[in-house]
Structure 1
């Protein structure tokens, strides 16, 4: 039960300590196996300790705003949602063939580089790096599930939390699968296709899952769960639309990623979907999705996207959707602290620069 003396800062400290404890336990267990396996857990611990912790903070803040009293269970659920995020990020990097994350080598890059330095052929070294990353993602995924399965709450809430996790992974995988399919460019992607993909890939695990877990642990009534589901999905799409704009026109020093990365990967976004209708697109279409795209070709592609009016279109859609979600939040029957939190969250997602 809740200790009245426990404040927001205390719960955040509890989360940091608990996540460190969970990972340290696995890291120590790995020492009984091979040295590379221990190195893999070292890498996972470093990776999980970084980042902005947006999702666990959302869960913990929402649990408090909804009057929740199960701080320890909420902290464990926050750890699980962060471990899920790490798992999906690792797998996403493998799918996108990225070697860098947050400005430094990711697990694929780190393990492949070490193998190269030790004399392994390039192809085998890269396969080793990818295999290490795939296994790392799997380990984080199962660890997240294990943490949720051990929540110290009554059985109905634990089962509800596990059902949320199962549906989140199922739907996020569908969104990622659709993202890869769209990048093949075997058929034209409509704006609706892109928005549906963003809804499944980003909204489900980044916003709906944290809010649903918080509400379930707080014992919120079904009406609150329904309202939060609708609001969370809309916030998730806003977040992804902003992410797509930053991926092409953001400040690399703030985002930590190249503004040519999405273009080289052939990532289907609303920017690209809109720009395709511009006659000038045909002049740069061969560059899109070309892993060997040069900087000058990338600049040309980015210029065509900008001059097509795509950024203005997406910005207007972000503004429109932010206003819509603000109305939904203010018209809801959610507690005042929850309303304030969500209003701030929408504004942050719509205007973020990193």
Structure 2
């Protein structure tokens, strides 16, 4: 089995070093296919920097509490990098689907290529292909982890399930936006859970338990906590995209409103007296700033913001109960309470 990490290296340093080494190697190899392909890998590397590393954090900090002897730490780091690569792949595909040109307040890979060449089809095609490459690289790392065959198969089974759920969630998100699926609140919450919660929080916590050899009951408790935290994370994103400061959350301002995203905010508003004034503006690609501010005011007026904020608080309360309910080791409980605290009230 793999050795413990050196005491002088933090998990952030280890993960970042692994990501840098991955992109450096791929960029060198890309040179033989020409300058544009090398440029694509360089842009992918640039877009991987500056993220929160939430998924590696959850996996590694929880794993550390379950295996304080450090046995298997290097394998856990490798797996956390694989999860982060999968996340980066999903982001690229999501930016194409949503038509976004910004991420973290700067042009994303699509936006940069549009600036470079002025061709949106070229930029979208490049992002899709890079997303495919990162998905492949992630799966390869999952398959090569240094562990027993039994653990590897369990990990791969959960990877397949989570990828399927995430794709199904993205598919449902688009279907809701274009009216193929009826946008009731239950369907929107299901979509949110599939699209974001499963891979953002459930997968890292479940992987930490599996790698650490934790009992199945503890693994399921962690997965349940992860599902709730992941739902909170996406509902917060919906709130920030509509009511937050673009300078803080770094996304295209009003992008959800221009795209007609059927978020929990919109699902609640559909049953309100204000819906007749919201509906004609929602999903308008030429949405002006004044029109966007009108929608925001109407969503506030109809109680949609309060409704989603209450949903977030309900999930946070439920998560606290699971964390403090006695089924988790004390150190694991403290780590998860700290992660939950950091998620509460986030602005980006």
Q: CA offsets per residue over residues 102-143 of structure 1, 9 Å max, x none?
A: 222222222233223xxxxxxxx2111111010010011001
Among residues 264, 269, 282, which one is paired with 2:258 in the alignment?
264
Alignment of 1:291-306 (within 5 A): 291-306=285-300
Q: Please say if 1:220 is aligned against 2:231.
A: no
Shift of 1:345: 2.1
The separation in 2 between residues aligned to 1:323 and 1:251, in whole angstroms, is 26
1:243 aligns with 2:234: no
- 1:14 is matched with 14
Which deviations, in whole Å up to 9, do the C-alpha atoms of 1:318-349 show, x marking residues without a partner? 11221111111111411111111112222332
CA distance in 1, matches of 2:340, 2:258: 30
- What are the ranges of 5 or more consecutive residues in structure 1 without an aligned counterpart? 117-124
Match of 1:253 among 247, 259, 266: 247
Return structure 1 stretches of 4+ with deviation > 4 angstroms: 1-5
- The alignment status of 1:30 with 2:30, answered yes or no, reads yes
CA distance 1:69–1:245, shift in 2 (3 Å): same
TM-score calculated relative to the size of structure 2: 0.95
2:75 corresponds in structure 1 to 73
Is the 8 Å Cα contact of residues 102 and 250 (structure 2) preserved in structure 1? no
SS at match of 1:32: helix
Instruction: Kindly report which structure 2 residues correspond to 1:40-79, keeping only aligned pairs within 5 A, or say none.
Output: 40-67=40-67, 69-79=71-81
Report matched runs for 1:82-161 at 5 Å: 82-116=84-118, 125-161=119-155
Tell me which residue corresponds to 1:277: 271
In structure 1, the partner of 2:342 is 348
Aligned-pair CA distance for 1:4: 6.7
- Partners of 2:131 and 2:216 lie apart in 1 by 33
Alpha-carbon contact 1:318-1:350 (below 8 Å) kept: no
Q: Which residue of 2 aligns with 1:120?
A: none
Instruction: Look up the match of 1:338.
Output: 332
Q: Distance in 2 between matches of 1:14 and 1:284?
A: 47
Q: Which moved more, 1:136-145 or 1:335-344?
A: 335-344
Match of 1:229 among 200, 223, 228: 223
Secondary structure of 2:145 counterpart? coil
Alpha-carbon distance between aligned partners in 1 of 2:4 and 2:208, rounded to the nearest angstrom: 19
Maintained 8 Å contact 2:2/2:146: no
- Structure 2 counterpart of 1:122: none
Listed as ranges, the gaps of 5+ residues in structure 2 are none
**Shift in alpha-carbon separation, 1:28–1:253, aligned structure 2, 3 A:** same
The count of aligned residue pairs is 346
Instruction: Check 1:15–1:185 CA distance in 2 against 1; reply closer, same or farther (3 A cut).
Output: same
Q: How far apart, CA to CA, are the structure 2 residues paired with 1:280 and 1:224?
A: 45
Q: Residue 322 of structure 1 contacts residue 347 of structure 1 at CA under 8 Å; is this kept in 2? A: no
**Aligned partner of 1:177 among 171, 179, 183:** 171
TM-score (norm 1): 0.93
Kept in 2, the 8 Å contact 1:227–1:332? The answer is no
In the TM superposition, residue 273 of structure 1 has moved relative to its aligned partner by 1.0
Does structure 2 conserve the Cα–Cα contact (< 8 Å) formed by 1:15 and 1:75? yes
Cα 1:17–1:206 shift into 2, 3 Å: same
Cα-to-partner distance string for 1:64-122 (whole Å, 9 max, x where unaligned): 01115211111110110110110000000000111222222222222233223xxxxxx
User: 2:105–2:247: 8 Å Cα contact kept in structure 1?
Assistant: no
Instruction: Please state how far the C-alpha of 1:255 moved relative to its aligned partner.
Output: 0.5
